[in-house]
Structure 1
Amino acid sequence: MNNNEKATSVLLPLILIISLFFLWGMANNLNDILIAQFKKIFSLSDLKSGLVQSAFYTGYFVFSIPASLFMRRYSYKAAVVTGLLLYAFGAFLFYPAAAQREYNLFLGALFVIASGLAFLETSANPLIVAMGDPATAERRLNFAQSFNPFGCIAGIIIGREFILSGHEPSAADLAAMAPAALEQFYQAESHAVQGPYLAIGALVFLWAFVVLLVRFPKVATQSSAGESVSWNDYKNLLASGQFMFGVTAQFFYVGAQVCLWSYMIRYGQQALPGTGEKILANYLLASLVIFMIGRFFATALMARIKPSLLMFIYAIANVVLCALAVVSPNLVGMLALVATSFFMSLMFPTIFALTIKNLGEQAKAGSSLLVMSIIGGAILAAVMGFVSDISSIHTAVVIPLASFAVIAVFARSCYQREIKG
């Protein structure tokens, strides 16, 4: 087989793997809409509405190591198909959850979706890193991750157009409604999630079928069961200070991103009083567009600037922007929160690639531990909600501020290690 034939044979599988970044981005950012929607349907505090992210990211945490072991026993491709099927099943569960208008059922459905995404992220990220020169792993993964914001944007548009009604009665309005009218309002708002999630479930199920049928290269289909893994890999990685610093940085990055995007509409309700939820969703949409632009921009800059140094600069910029949002809970603070997305854009893939590069046979185990660090989204979103409930939402922005400070220290550490050779 000549080089052209080889390139053709991997093109469709590559497109299918890159599409996964779109699909999990869509699921992740629909949660930001769901927080606003569930807060309205169930009259939740900020802490309780943050349980959307807690349930979601706990699914990642619980299934990351099982996904890694499954991938090693069967293959990257088998893990992808399994992840897509779990994702579809979780989306379908939104129909009965909405019919019964039960918050815990929604949280369960989100947990199932996230379990599928744990399989997808645990397999797709290291596969992209493995498909090429280790020296360009950060750039290659940043390029693949550049398609993730398209899914994020799609999730916000779907939520804004098909879930958010724009009907936001005050507590006094709700108290004045007749029981029948109040029940009708809650039913309509709950049922608004059914159609979008049924459509998403059908699309993801179809995608699983396509992946199953398409022929993938050997690296994606071979089992690694004959390799000696195992819990010793995890034991060695957990004993590595350098690796665990990367896991810690990823924990705080995911936590910061989830906090900022999950509570952006809530922040806007305080900073821009009287602004409707659909208008505030546009600020979230703008932040995702900026995030997407930032990802491509960062990928280009990495040809000239070491990824670790660039991430250090970006992390410091976000510390400053978060501080501005804390002290200026108005339009200035809102725009500062939007701007953080540009500087967040390179962080996940860069932390991931810097942490697993040169791990060799331990890359799959390392990938699963990095995906487990996504539990930061569950923990820090709940913490930010708690701080908001006892103080204010703008004060709670100190949580992502502190997270970016940790990332800056990690990036500086990586850069110093690189220049010392």
Structure 2
Amino acid sequence: MATKKTLFPFILITSLFFLWGFAHNLDPILIPHLQKSFTLTTVQATLVDSAVFVAYFLMALPAGFIMKKYGYKTGIISGLLVFALGSFLFIPAANTQQYVFFLVALFIIACGLTILETAANPYASSLGDPAYSTQRLNLAQSFNGLATTLAPVIGARVILTKDYTAAQLSAMTEEGRRLALAAEAATVKVPYFILGSVLVLIAVIFAFTRLPAIQTNEEQPAGKHIFHAFRHHHLRWGVIAQFFYVGAQVCVFSLFILYATKAAGITAVSAADYLGLCGFAFLLGRFIGTYLMQYFRSARMLAVYAVLNIFLCLVAIWGTGMVTVYAVIGICFFMSIMFPTIFALGIKELGGDTEFGSSLIIMSIVGGAILPRLFGYISDVTGNIQYGYIIPLICFLVVAYFGFKGHRVNQKDGKLLVSTII
């Protein structure tokens, strides 16, 4: 999948997938941590996710313009530096003990992640033989799955070191409680300073690395504006499919503990352990899926996996006991290849519209902020959280259509080529 010329750049690009996956999966640790540190309501605590999703929606198009005008290498370095800036801002945020400062830091981190994802996904897809683009992107995304498994484990042990109980806090004086909560908030400073420093180092490495440039052929003119990119039928469906897929993923992961405790009647601690199994299934699915793509067409695998998840959603809705938990773990396994596969198929043969197409697909991540609310609404109205899985079921129906038909390229477009060295 990679030649001697592209192997080291591909390794560097792959490291980015791990880094932004690690940052994303620290958020579930930050939410309860900041909730306790600032005595927030649940709604106030969920602003952590809101800050991230808003950044993705707002920054995706500017990120595409950066890549269009200055190239992928500049985009990657810019994303790393913005990511690092947000990480360093956790230090003054902890010092000032202002929740809004943490939200600003998270927003800036997410802006950096948006630039990185807009650049790295199409670059990894195109860094080699076009026949292996989807397989190559799934391999890189596998390390995102590795971060999904490691980040909560590491983050909990580093950030939650001063996890005072409610009883301990209530027994303190007002001043003692203030100091204790301040110390709890301060535990984020060291890990985020280390993360920011690593990001600056990687940005320097990228600056001194000669990366193969991705160019379009002369027959395909560069896209002039975002609406020009939307003329591609398969890109439009890629945006729609990614919107629904990300919504399904957030429903499954973010609401798993609440779902498992009610559907299977297990404790929250046991549910958290099974959530770890979900992360492992997701990681395993990425590696196995990447291997199977040597023998099966990626679009067909995407469609079949989506159909399997539709049936598993039916089990999650109508099943009882632990079978519901196992069904959701199965959903995590089969949805593992969906994001990179939808992305690669969505930007396939876009030629000069690739940068804008990448931005549009990244913007569709906003589905993760919208569809879980519908999941919660259905659960509240019906009084049964299992009925919320109607939303992921509908999402996987859309993904299945994209895999069977929506991914097809209807017109002859220029292909992305790896050519001269920057």
Q: Which residue is equivalent to 1:399?
A: 391
Instruction: Describe the superposition over 1:133-182 as per-residue Cα deviations: whole angstroms up to 9, x where unpaired.
Output: 33332222112222221222231222222223595846x88667653454
CA apart distance, 1:379: 2.5
Q: Which residue is equivalent to 2:22?
A: 26
Q: Which residue is equivalent to 1:234?
A: 226
- For residues 166 and 317 of structure 1, the distance between their equivalents in structure 2, rounded to whole angstroms, comes to 43
Asked if structure 1 preserves the Cα contact closer than 8 Å seen for 2:232 and 2:350, the reply is no
* Structure 2 residue ranges without an equivalent (≥5): 411-422
Q: Which residue is equivalent to 1:187?
A: 182
Asked if structure 2 preserves the Cα contact closer than 8 Å seen for 1:309 and 1:415, the reply is no
Letter in 2 for 1:209: V
Q: Which residue is equivalent to 2:93?
A: 97
SS at match of 2:26: helix
Q: Which residue is equivalent to 1:348?
A: 339
Asked if structure 1 preserves the Cα contact closer than 8 Å seen for 2:346 and 2:407, the reply is no
Q: Which residue is equivalent to 1:249?
A: 241
Q: Which residue is equivalent to 2:137?
A: 141
Query: Do structure 1's residue 260 and structure 2's residue 248 form an aligned pair?
Result: no
Asked if structure 1 preserves the Cα contact closer than 8 Å seen for 2:234 and 2:408, the reply is no
Asked if structure 2 preserves the Cα contact closer than 8 Å seen for 1:25 and 1:148, the reply is yes
- Listed as ranges, the matches of 1:71-90 within 5 Å are 71-90=67-86
- For residues 380 and 98 of structure 2, the distance between their equivalents in structure 1, rounded to whole angstroms, comes to 23
Q: Which residue is equivalent to 2:191?
A: 196
Letter in 2 for 1:343: F
- For residues 271 and 97 of structure 1, the distance between their equivalents in structure 2, rounded to whole angstroms, comes to 39
CA apart distance, 1:407: 1.4
For the aligned residue pairs, the C-alpha RMSD in angstroms reads 3.3
* More displaced stretch, 105-114 vs 38-47: 38-47
| Partner residue of 1:107 out of 103, 110, 114 | 103
Instruction: Describe the superposition over 1:391-412 as per-residue Cα deviations: whole angstroms up to 9, x where unpaired.
Output: 5655544433332222122223
| Partner residue of 2:289 out of 293, 298, 303 | 298
Q: Which residue is equivalent to 1:308?
A: 299
TM-score (norm 2): 0.84
Aligned length: 407
CA apart distance, 1:275: 3.9
- For residues 196 and 350 of structure 1, the distance between their equivalents in structure 2, rounded to whole angstroms, comes to 32
* More displaced stretch, 115-124 vs 31-40: 31-40
- Listed as ranges, the matches of 1:205-216 within 5 Å are 205-216=200-211
- For residues 46 and 216 of structure 1, the distance between their equivalents in structure 2, rounded to whole angstroms, comes to 45
- For residues 329 and 322 of structure 1, the distance between their equivalents in structure 2, rounded to whole angstroms, comes to 13
Change (3 A) 1:141 1:86: same
- For residues 15 and 165 of structure 2, the distance between their equivalents in structure 1, rounded to whole angstroms, comes to 39
Asked if structure 1 preserves the Cα contact closer than 8 Å seen for 2:233 and 2:409, the reply is no
SS at match of 1:163: helix
SS at match of 1:374: helix
Q: Which residue is equivalent to 1:413?
A: 405
TM-score (norm 1): 0.84
CA apart distance, 1:231: 6.7
* More displaced stretch, 189-198 vs 367-376: 189-198
Asked if structure 2 preserves the Cα contact closer than 8 Å seen for 1:53 and 1:377, the reply is no
SS at match of 2:356: helix
- For residues 285 and 90 of structure 1, the distance between their equivalents in structure 2, rounded to whole angstroms, comes to 27
SS at match of 1:164: helix
CA apart distance, 1:60: 1.5
- For residues 156 and 271 of structure 2, the distance between their equivalents in structure 1, rounded to whole angstroms, comes to 10
- For residues 267 and 167 of structure 1, the distance between their equivalents in structure 2, rounded to whole angstroms, comes to 25
Asked if structure 2 preserves the Cα contact closer than 8 Å seen for 1:156 and 1:281, the reply is no
CA apart distance, 1:281: 4.0
Change (3 A) 1:12 1:243: closer
Query: Do structure 1's residue 217 and structure 2's residue 201 form an aligned pair?
Result: no
SS at match of 1:147: helix
CA apart distance, 1:249: 0.6
Asked if structure 2 preserves the Cα contact closer than 8 Å seen for 1:67 and 1:122, the reply is yes
Asked if structure 2 preserves the Cα contact closer than 8 Å seen for 1:309 and 1:412, the reply is yes
* Structure 1 residue ranges without an equivalent (≥5): 1-5
Change (3 A) 1:46 1:315: farther
Change (3 A) 1:410 1:357: same
